[in-house]
Amino acid sequence: MPHDLLIPTVPTSRRTQHEETSMNQHSMTIRGKERYKSGVMEYKKMGYWEPDYVPKDTDIIALFRVTPQDGVDPIEAAAAVAGESSTATWTVVWTDRLTAAEKYRAKCYRVDPVPNSPGQYFAYIAYDLDLFENGSIANLSASIIGNVFGFKPLKALRLEDMRLPVAYVKTFQGPATGIVVERERMDKFGRPLLGATVKPKLGLSGRNYGRVVYEALKGGLDFTKDDENINSQPFMHWRERFLYCMEAVNKAQAASGEIKGTYLNVTAGTMEDMYERAEFAKELGSVIIMIDLVIGYTAIQSMAKWARRNDMILHLHRAGHSTYTRQRSHGVSFRVIAKWMRLAGVDHIHAGTVVGKLEGDPATTRGYYDICREDYNPVRLEHGVFFDQNWASLNRMMPVASGGIHAGQMHQLLDHLGEDVILQFGGGTIGHPMGIQAGATANRVALEAMILARNEGRDYLREGPEILAKAAETCTPLKSALEVWKNVTFNYESTDMPDYVPTPSVAM
Amino acid sequence: MRVTQGCFSFLPDLTDEQITRQVQYCLEKGWAVNIEFTDDPHPRNSFWEMWGLPMFDLRDAAGVMMELAQCRKVYGNSYIRMSAFDNSHGWESVRLSFIVNRPKDEPGFRLERHEMAGRNIRYTTKSYAVDRPEGGRYG
């Protein structure tokens, strides 16, 4: 569908259009001596609302969804967000005059009502590059989200998107390995990679756990994965897991002649413990390790640097993200987390399945995938992408689709997610009626059949079920997988979706 | 055993017609297709022998299929694969690779375990075939 024209989901009324233009009219900044008279002054008069400001190429820009308390002027609320996320405090301070204060003030330069969401406003705020430390997500996030989210005049606040200037992007390492080198190391080209999370996620001994890894890899998967909460518990300490998993990986490699891997989760209570586990994984010859998002941004950056130094692929499980990404009016959008993680330097990130059991509207998910994989993201309001973003040749990050997916959805998965993705079928492998190897084989055959059909130019999305049925004629495990899971879908309303939808442009 | 490297090894061996369609897909993407062969299919053997150079300026899959037929005449009992190279910025690597020919008998690999300190084991994957010299490994 051509979509040159982007309009809000329901046509904007004339009043709103009027509001939108009038909202952005004047600067109210008080200048000179008056600006620094002791006392309390509105943020919009202190220089945090500058509708004439044109952001510089080197500025960091943040887009917030602001929900002011009843009776609070949206411009003042937006200016307060700019103020509290940069230089301001609640009252005028004379010490501002010792600095180049105007440069350091974040400037809200545009406020738009959110389409179809009364009481919500999009505030665009520009920050000078000198406000941030090179190569530090901790510093970037402490500034942008550190102080403003509990601000009383706001009912709710959400960081929707950020434009990161090339000048700042280049101060980060970026993904330790990247999609291209990961594929070269794994010797796997032209198709999504296949994985599975070992289940049950808690309680297996090291020996039993390794059994699942071996069966799944031998059956045809490329990777198996520890779950986010598999660290070092009484039922299985980490060294046991690592030793048995590497026996499984090596046996499966010899049985198939293919490179295999298992994400050894090195998440632990201290950096020292994580480094110790990562070193052991390396000593055992693992190609990949894993960390959880909950270890924190600085720990993630440290592990990314370790991974680059040690030729290790670094998988990130986004454990905990839904506590702040899921609700539309408050928190931080996952697209911002994805951008931060690409800067921070992880190689894999869970980014949604669209069709599986976890939250994910197709258009929004598409936006996340583009952020992971493209070198340049143009504005795509219909995918929730609000800014042009140049990644300046930072490595591409491999998105991971995991949670409630099965072989029977292969055509939809390929259509939604493309080929540079890891498809993780946990239950969809281990829950196979004929066993784990059969489950893995079913997924691999379904995938290869779909790629073959796509490359041949077939309309694989429409003919998907037929293509799978045909492949199942020579593959009993696939036949049985299609039978068991044929009616499994997860159709629930998404809680987070784009505010803009494409409409066909008028024919010229 | 069956070496399952490459994109389509879990499917029945591709017919020449199927191979042609995959090659045509690569050419239409602007990728250069290379024919490579080996009798050492170790998973870490990145550099299979090249049957000539990647075919950079080709537009029709028929040309690649003629070369494949020639290659099969000489190395019909080896592994042969198609690799397609994308030279666009940010990729500059292989974008599709699949096996198009196999030896009649695939003996596979053995896993050698060297026991180290603690419970650590150093693993080595060895192809049964490479015990014989290059060129004479698959009869």
> What does the pLDDT look like over A151-175, one tens digit per residue?
889 999 999 999 999 999 999 999 9
Is B114 part of a structural domain of the chain? no
**Nearest-CA neighbor of A48 among A148, A189, A188?**
A148
Q: How far apart are CA B72 and CA B53, in angstroms?
A: 16
B44–chain A Cβ distance below 8 A for any pair:
yes
> What does the pLDDT look like over A422-473, one tens digit per residue?
999 988 899 999 999 999 999 999 999 999 999 999 999 999 999 999 999 9
A257–chain B Cβ distance below 8 A for any pair:
yes
User: Which pLDDT does position A88 carry in this prediction?
Assistant: 85
B20–chain A Cβ distance below 8 A for any pair:
no
Is B122 part of a structural domain of the chain? no
DSSP A311: T
Q: Which of A317, A339, A406, A432 is catalytic?
A: A317
Is B116 part of a structural domain of the chain? no
In angstroms, what separates the C-alpha of A437 from chain B's closest C-alpha? Answer: 13
Structure token pair of residue A401: 């689709």
Q: C-alpha A195: how far from its chain's center?
A: 19
State yes or no: pLDDT of A313 exceeds 50.
yes
State yes or no: pLDDT of A178 exceeds 50.
yes
> What does the pLDDT look like over A73-108, one tens digit per residue?
999 999 999 999 999 888 888 998 999 999 999 999
Interface contacts (A, B; CB < 8 Å): 105
**Nearest-CA neighbor of A302 among A173, A468, A393, A163?**
A173
Is B61 part of a structural domain of the chain? yes
Print the domain residue range for B69.
16-105
All residues of chain A having their beta carbon less than 8 Å from the beta carbon of residue B95 are: 189-190
Q: How far apart are CA A108 and CA A78, in angstroms?
A: 7
Share of chain B above pLDDT 90, in %: 88
Give the chain A residue nearest B12 (alpha carbons). Answer: A474
A199 counts as catalytic: yes
All residues of chain B having their beta carbon less than 8 Å from the beta carbon of residue A216 are: none
Question: Which range has the top average pLDDT, A6-15, A88-97, A204-213?
Answer: A204-213
Which residue from B21, B90, B94 is facing A455, i.e. has the nearest CB? B21
Is B93 part of a structural domain of the chain? yes
Q: How far apart are CA A391 and CA A342, in angstroms?
A: 9
User: Which pLDDT does position A505 carry in this prediction?
Assistant: 55
> What does the pLDDT look like over B101-121, one tens digit per residue?
999 999 999 999 999 988 899
Which pTM does this prediction carry?
0.93
State yes or no: pLDDT of A4 exceeds 50.
no
User: Which pLDDT does position A359 carry in this prediction?
Assistant: 62
Please answer yes or no on whether B5 and A254 come within 8 Å at the CB atom. no
ipTM metric: 0.96
Is B72 part of a structural domain of the chain? yes
Confidence of residue A306 (pLDDT cuts 50, 70, 90): very high
All residues of chain A having their beta carbon less than 8 Å from the beta carbon of residue B93 are: 180, 183-184, 189
Please answer yes or no on whether B4 and A220 come within 8 Å at the CB atom. yes
> What does the pLDDT look like over A316-352, one tens digit per residue?
999 999 999 989 999 999 999 999 999 999 999 999 8
User: Which pLDDT does position B7 carry in this prediction?
Assistant: 97
A317 counts as catalytic: yes
Q: How far apart are CA A466 and CA B114, in angstroms?
A: 48
Average predicted confidence (pLDDT) for chain A = 92
All residues of chain B having their beta carbon less than 8 Å from the beta carbon of residue A238 are: none
Is B84 part of a structural domain of the chain? yes
CB A349 within 8 A of CB A399: yes
Is B98 part of a structural domain of the chain? yes
In angstroms, what separates the C-alpha of B74 from chain A's closest C-alpha? Answer: 24
> What does the pLDDT look like over A227-243, one tens digit per residue?
999 999 999 999 999 99
Q: How far apart are CA A145 and CA A331, in angstroms?
A: 9
The helix/strand/coil state of A233 is strand
**Secondary structure (DSSP) of B73-139:** HHHTTSEEEEEEEE-STTT-EEEEEEEEE--S----EEEEEEE-STT-EEEEEEEGGGGSPTTSTT-
State yes or no: pLDDT of A18 exceeds 60.
no
Give the chain A residue nearest B121 (alpha carbons). Answer: A284
**How many domains would you assign to chain B?**
1
The residues pairing with B49 across neighbouring beta strands, listed in sequence order, are: B37
**Nearest-CA neighbor of A229 among A206, A200, A207?**
A200
In CATH, what number is assigned to the domain containing residue B64?
A: 3.30.190.10
CB A466 within 8 A of CB A450: no
All residues of chain A having their beta carbon less than 8 Å from the beta carbon of residue B14 are: 452
Q: How far apart are CA A62 and CA A265, in angstroms?
A: 33
